[in-house]
Amino acid sequence: MNFNPFCLSSYLTFRYVVSEEQHWKSGVKPVFPASLRPPKVPVRTTPDIDAYLRNSFTADDRTGILLSGGIDSALLASYLPKGSKAYTIRFVAEGAVDESPMAARYAEACGLAHTVVRVYWDDYCKHSRALMEFKQSPIHAIEVALYRAALAAKADGIETLVVGNGADSTFGGMDKLLSRDWTLEEFKQRYTFVPPERVLRQPVSLSAYYEAYDCGDKPYDVQGFLKTVHGIGIIQSFENAIHKTGCQVRAPFEGMYLDAPLDLQRIRSGESKYLLRALFRSRFPRFEVAEKIPFARPMDQWLRGWEGPSRPEFKTDVEWGQFSGDQRWLLHNLEVFLNLFDDERACV
């Protein structure tokens, strides 16, 4: 086995290699985000957020937006000049969540030209390897879909895509992770995507990256973890997929930080992202506030018949059918990446 065990465990735990110092192997180093620590503007209230967003956009026909069915991208769309182009991803699979009808309503209300980009499993088979080579790492399940949308935008002359990254982690959108107080061990179990010790022959503990947000006798610092460990991986995924097309990424929510404690009681009472909800009501007075729709990839359908990895890094006495579709994607994608960068296989 010629790959760094830390990287395998990190990818399965967090969906990316969490340390900039770690390489998969000699010459294969993950590309980290270019905008990890931009200057951030403090906001405390809905008017603060509104003022920041009003100053974030100018008339520019080379800027488009990735528009989902949720309130984050809808808010950003409402500040774009009329006639701007919006792109919505639609996964084509039986039972897949389709956000395009709601996104079309937002686009119409904002006066945007709307394009629905249909994404198939064939797209994952076609583009995953090129995205891995560009990233020098396995990819997140959203990256192929983002890449397809960015290709459509690039073909329309778009040079910058606006995305809603940072809204959930800054303003309390991950209500399930914020739904209760956690101990360190409870949060580790809740957040870890695929426990490395269940599937790898040489698992590496990533506990230190959780322990950095342990507050002793106080509840675990979920918000701190989400803004750093979780957030960096999401930024990396968006940048990789969109930069691969030659487009740039603009994430206005990432340019702000909440200069006040989150009101967890409001979030736990069903009012996640309460500051953004209030802004949405003022920007879209005729719309109901849409509840959060997970960006759900239909991996359960697409990987239903997958029988598990066969590389020597993985255990053999594992019931692979026990894993969810998203977990199977991580395992499948990791094996594809290892095969792609395996010198011995490349020479066969």
Which domains does the chain show, CATH number per domain? Answer: 31-181+220-301 (3.40.50.620)
Read off the pLDDT of residues 99-131 as tens digits, 9 standing for 90 and up: 999 999 999 999 999 999 999 999 999 999 999
Q: What is the pLDDT of residue 36?
A: 58
> What region does 301 belong to: left with phi over 0, alpha with psi -120 to 50, or beta?
alpha
- Euclidean distance between CA atoms 91 and 201, whole angstroms: 34
Q: Which two tokens stand for residue 73?
A: 């991208």
Q: For each of the chain's 348 residues, which pLDDT tens digit applies?
A: 589 999 999 999 999 999 999 999 999 999 988 655 567 899 999 999 999 999 988 878 899 999 999 999 999 999 999 999 999 999 999 888 899 999 999 999 999 999 999 999 999 999 999 999 999 999 999 999 999 999 999 999 999 999 999 999 999 999 899 999 999 999 999 999 999 999 999 999 999 999 999 999 999 999 999 988 999 999 999 999 999 999 999 999 999 999 999 999 999 999 999 999 999 999 999 998 877 666 678 999 999 999 999 999 999 999 999 999 999 999 999 999 999 999 755 433
- Euclidean distance between CA atoms 297 and 283, whole angstroms: 29
Q: What is the pLDDT of residue 59?
A: 72
Q: What is the pLDDT of residue 279?
A: 98
- First-to-last CA distance in the chain? 16
CA-nearest of 208, 204, 257 to 10 is 204
Q: What is the pLDDT of residue 157?
A: 97
- Euclidean distance between CA atoms 65 and 164, whole angstroms: 9
Q: Which residues pair with 42 in a beta bridge?
A: 257
Q: What is the pLDDT of residue 335?
A: 97
